[in-house]
Structure 1
Amino acid sequence: MQTVEGGLREHHKAQRRLRILDAARELLRAEPDAAISTERIAARAEVSPATVYNLIGPRDKIWEALAAGFMDELEGRLAVLAGSDPREVVRSTVQLFVDDPVVSRRMVREWEKSGLVLDRSPLTQVRQAMADARTRGLLRADIDTDALAAVVAASCVGALHQWVAALIDDERFLARALFSLDVALAAAAADPHRDQLLAPLRTRGPA
């Protein structure tokens, strides 16, 4: 009986937590430049400010929780992709941010650790896709695919911050993220596949 009650308590806590994060997103979309406070989020979610603090934490933790929500959504999207194409991982990542631009831009601007936003996902999926490409012989056997994936992720974070600052539009955000991936793949290409992996760079316009 205690186990059932404990499970119900955890379920209700999880539901309240989701409601709080949904409330934060709704407030951001309704007033993109307005300040976000625990009190406003609590009122929108119909919980007490203490509940927001206990289930999420102070304001910076709200941004962190929103970032985790983005990555949860991304992992769900990537799970339904057939195969492990690193280009599809990058496309899905960029699309996730541009699908909810108000929330994603505020989250990246406000969260002091936003440089880590891609560390959990898609970095894990890019690492795996790179390792699979090496196993299939597309990339050289001596390539450290974890290091290669980290370089791509760092470049994508840079493109993300340019997009957040409105220095580039959605199309160029995607182009720059894919460009960083294609450069990495071409540099690491095994000889039989070099022309194949260089082709996107030869046909691409300026990023």
Structure 2
Amino acid sequence: MTLDLYAASSRPLTRRPDRETAHSFSFGEHYDPANLGFGPLIAHNDDKVSPGGGYPTHPHSDLEIVTWVLSGALVHTDSLGHHSVLEPGTVQVQSAGSGITHSEIADAASGPTRFVQAWVRPDSSGGTPSRAVSSPVVAAGLHRVAGGSDLPIGVAGATFWVGSVASSVVLPEAPLLHVFDASSGDAWRVRDEPGRSLELAAPGSLLVWAFDH
């Protein structure tokens, strides 16, 4: 049973002229063999992007790509024919399957954009690429917005939760929990402590991944 804190100051940063990305795990030029992922979660990136900046068209395969927009707006375009603007409070699940290309650009009319994107390794490779989007109404406390009976994720037992927490919260019951406080930038990794409560030093905006393996 463990709960490990990963302070915001410990996360490596990738800086580009149009964006800054804080990485929770080994990523790109920031290779760390001791920090390759947590359960099936292999990337958890906090992106702050200038208007009109972002990620031009690029490929993915065999990933579940889950995006949560915190501020601004993100223009998403992909090889499945989708083109839409993701606004704050929007969750998108893209199953790359056998292969897709997509682009993610901060809407120039909406000012700076911040979004968190997670990459989750699916249970099986290949498969048919897909995309689903939802704008759930999220009140105080944690609420499941993807996985389970919500937007499907190609990982059995994986769920994604978001919510605003004033001081303490009871976390989802799962063997593996990755908890990210978007307000402070701190994160926690929790193992084998189902039903654990988490105390925050200040009100936070939490993004929580729960895995059963």
Q: TM-score, normalised by structure 1?
A: 0.24
Which protein has the bigger helix share? 1
Q: TM-score, normalised by structure 2?
A: 0.24
Whose Rg is larger? Answer: 1
